[in-house]
């Protein structure tokens, strides 16, 4: 049994799902077997279902700044995607099409029918794949700082442009070196096992405007979720599958359901340019006083944008 699995059943561990859910009145931890793996999710609120998918290097807990407000209007279901948190970490299946099918199977098990779906970062990629592959199950799509992988990724620089790799990410010339680092197999696990906090602290400082909005407790929650070899290996699988994701994207039809893109100061321009190529009914808004971790830096703006879009 891994350390993380031990945490799941250890109510005294402050980072266990059983302890963390206490910060979500009305929500419950639940598990489902889909596509031969176990998924963990939390479920709360009432109304039309809103599926929420987190990104790297976080877990379901990343929605805590906005979940309670959203649950006043919707049934909010936050899923630890394949390879994340307390969900299973298989050897394969990290292409976004397979991960989207995990979400579909969960929706079918819950008897939900058509849903709203929202994703941040890697979760945004899975949410878009879900919409591409299962439009009949997608009422509205929200992507926050994370679009489906495309051939544009192949143009990302190996070396940063002179003067652009500074303390904070450059909005015009972003240098996301971890996109390449996470492609490497086996080495990241050896470097980061038990030390993931160092990578997270640097990342939050680099991609957030105000990194203090990511609390010490939150950082500890995510470090506990990513410190082990199998957890690092699985999360890197999301990145190592980009090549397949790009090939899959070439087969998709343009989205017809309403789509909302929410972009930080780093991604807004890119989302504004890119999303209209893949969706017919799209609105992209910028939260330009926030970095990549929008839920932590500007939760009210995110909630306002989501509720306005979903109630339109």
The domains of the chain are located at 3-151+244-310
| Phi–psi pair at 24, nearest 5 degrees | -125, 75
HSE, CB side, 13 Å, CA atoms: give it for residue 242.
Answer: 20
CATH of 3-151+244-310, one of 1.25.10.10, 3.40.50.1360, 3.40.50.300, 3.40.50.1820: 3.40.50.1820
DSSP 245-256: HHHHHTTPPPB-
Helix residue ranges, H only, 149-293: 178-181, 187-192, 196-207, 216-226, 229-240, 242-249, 268-274
Q: Of 57, 180, 73, which Cα lies nearest the Cα of 123?
A: 57
For 196-227, what is each residue's pLDDT tens digit?
Answer: 999 999 999 999 999 999 999 999 999 999 99
Residues of the chain with pLDDT under 50: 1-10
For 289-299, what is each residue's pLDDT tens digit?
Answer: 999 999 999 99
For 241-293, what is each residue's pLDDT tens digit?
Answer: 999 999 999 999 999 999 999 999 999 999 999 999 999 999 999 999 999 99
SS3 288: coil
**Prediction pTM value:** 0.95
């Amino acid at each position: 049994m891994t350390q993380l699995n031990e945490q799941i059943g250890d109510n005294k561990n402050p980072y266990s799902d059983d302890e963390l859910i206490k910060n979500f009145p009305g929500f419950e931890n639940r598990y489902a077997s889909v596509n031969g793996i176990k998924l963990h999710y939390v479920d709360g609120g009432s109304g039309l279902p809103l599926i929420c998918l987190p990104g790297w290097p976080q877990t379901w807990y990343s929605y805590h700044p906005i979940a309670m407000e959203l649950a006043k209007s919707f049934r909010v279901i936050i899923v630890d995607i394949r390879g994340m948190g307390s969900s299973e970490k298989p050897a394969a299946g990290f292409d976004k099409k397979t991960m989207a099918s995990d979400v579909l199977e969960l929706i079918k098990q819950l008897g939900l029918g058509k849903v709203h779906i929202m994703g941040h970062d890697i979760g945004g990629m899975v949410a878009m794949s879900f919409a591409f592959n299962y439009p009949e199950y997608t009422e509205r799509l929200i992507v926050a700082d994370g679009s489906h992988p495309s051939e544009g990724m192949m143009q990302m620089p190996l070396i940063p442009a002179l003067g652009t790799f500074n303390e904070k990410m450059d909005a015009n010339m972003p240098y996301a070196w971890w996109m390449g680092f996470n492609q490497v197999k086996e080495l990241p696990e050896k470097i980061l096992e038990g030390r993931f906090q160092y990578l997270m602290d640097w990342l939050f400082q680099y991609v957030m405007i105000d990194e203090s909005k990511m609390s010490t407790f939150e950082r500890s929650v995510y470090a506990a979720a990513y410190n082990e070899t199998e957890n690092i290996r699985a999360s890197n699988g999301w990145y190592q599958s980009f090549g397949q994701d790009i090939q899959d994207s070439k087969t998709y039809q343009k989205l017809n359901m309403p789509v909302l893109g929410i972009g930080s100061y780093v991604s807004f321009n890119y989302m504004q340019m890119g999303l209209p190529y893949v969706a017919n009914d799209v609105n992209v808004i910028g939260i330009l006083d926030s970095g990549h971790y929008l839920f932590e830096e500007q939760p009210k703006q995110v909630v306002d944008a989501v509720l306005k879009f979903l109630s339109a």
